[in-house]
Amino acid sequence: GGLDGQTFFIQSCGEEEVFIENTSFDEDEIFDYHWLFYNPDGSLLNEQRGGDAFRDITVRFPGVGDYTGTMILNEGTECSDTADFMVSLFPAIFADFEFEYDTCVASDVMFIDSSRTGASSGIIEWDWDFADGTFSALENPSHEFRDPGIRDVILTVRDSNDCEDSMVKEVDWRPVPTTLIIEPSSFVGCNPAEIFFNNLSAPIDSTYDIVWDFGDGNISNDISPVHVYEEPGSYDVSLEITSPLNCSTSRDFDSWITILEGAEAQFTCSPDEPNVFRNTVQFTDMSERAGA
């Protein structure tokens, strides 16, 4: 078996039933396994013995405490080998947390640890994974997500016995932007005028319901749309954003876009039909609204 009287240390956190896997090599040479486990007071707790069916065993311990054990291979033969065990049963640890935030406002999410353990000095480490590439080691952190989305936040806690547990909870952070910020490519144009409305508002993504009203009877549901104004005039533009959690915000931009009448290029020439004998032509500009 190659155990040579080694001592193996086994730790269990809250689980009274412990599975012990035998890693002894030269398995074909082993025909007898003898397991003995003792209570903290030295009395016999559990004894199991047999062939291959007893290579791995499960032992139920009565509760928190330190237990000892021995495994003897091929007992009473020249090929006998022995291993000793120290089994420590610690109180269970349970990770848990709550969180609070305004589902409509892009602000911090407050995370509150509610984990518990029976360890004498309690929980000593907190490891938060906010599922956006950021982490925290605080007991009760606050966190502001940069992008909207549904995230599986993970809390892992560890107590003074080096027992640990994890809890995963879904955080749906999809508020509406605090302020709607729009940058049109131009505020004035000549018809037909193509205007790009660059939406810099955050946080938003494709899961939000977005309604643009360009003031000329046309609408769009794109985040940052391009719109062509065909007729001259002054146009009010409005934007309404509704989050997947049914929170809404809107903004009106009165008389925001001005479209001017485009110039029409026209001219006359004399003579009307020039030829090799009449090859001097005079052009007269007849364009309308061409400006100076």
Phi-psi bin for 164: left (phi > 0), alpha (psi -120 to 50), beta? Answer: beta
Query: Mean of the pLDDT values across residues 22-49?
Result: 93
Q: Is the dihedral of CA 167, 170, 176, 177 positive or negative?
A: positive
**pLDDT per position as a tens digit, 262-281:** 766 554 445 555 445 555 64
286 pLDDT higher than 70 = no
Output the pTM of the full model.
0.76
Q: What backbone phi and psi angles, to 5 degrees, belong to 278?
A: -120, 75
Quote the pLDDT of residue 227: 98
Residue 92: alpha-carbon gap to chain centroid: 28
Burial category of 57 from C-beta neighbours within 10 Å (exposed 0-12, middle 13-18, buried 19 and up): buried
The per-residue pLDDT of the chain, averaged, comes to 90
**pLDDT per position as a tens digit, 198-218:** 999 999 999 999 999 999 999
Per-position b or e across 144-174, b if 16+ CB within 10 A of its CB = ebeebeebebbbbbbbebebbbebeeebebb
Q: Is the dihedral of CA 99, 102, 142, 131 positive or negative?
A: positive
Q: Is the dihedral of CA 217, 220, 223, 228 positive or negative?
A: negative
Quote the pLDDT of residue 70: 96
Lowest-confidence segment of 27-31, 88-92, 163-167, 281-285 by average pLDDT = 281-285
292 pLDDT higher than 70 = no
Q: Residue 79 — very low, low, confident or very high, per pLDDT cuts 50/70/90? A: confident
Residue 270 in 3-state DSSP?
A: strand
184 pLDDT higher than 80 = yes
Quote the pLDDT of residue 187: 97
Quote the pLDDT of residue 262: 77
**pLDDT per position as a tens digit, 80-120:** 999 999 999 999 999 999 999 999 999 999 999 999 999 98
Query: Mean of the pLDDT values across residues 156-161?
Result: 97
- Cα gap 168→23, rounded to integer Å: 33
Strand 7-13 relative to strand 81-90, pairing? parallel
Q: Residue 78 — very low, low, confident or very high, per pLDDT cuts 50/70/90? A: confident
49 pLDDT higher than 90 = yes
52 pLDDT higher than 80 = yes
Quote the pLDDT of residue 23: 85
Quote the pLDDT of residue 270: 52
67 pLDDT higher than 90 = yes
Contacts of 173 (CB under 8 A, 6+ apart): 101, 109, 145, 148, 149, 150, 151
Q: Residue 3 — very low, low, confident or very high, per pLDDT cuts 50/70/90? A: low
Query: Mean of the pLDDT values across residues 2-8?
Result: 71
Quote the pLDDT of residue 279: 53
Residue 99 · residue 131 · CB < 8 Å: no
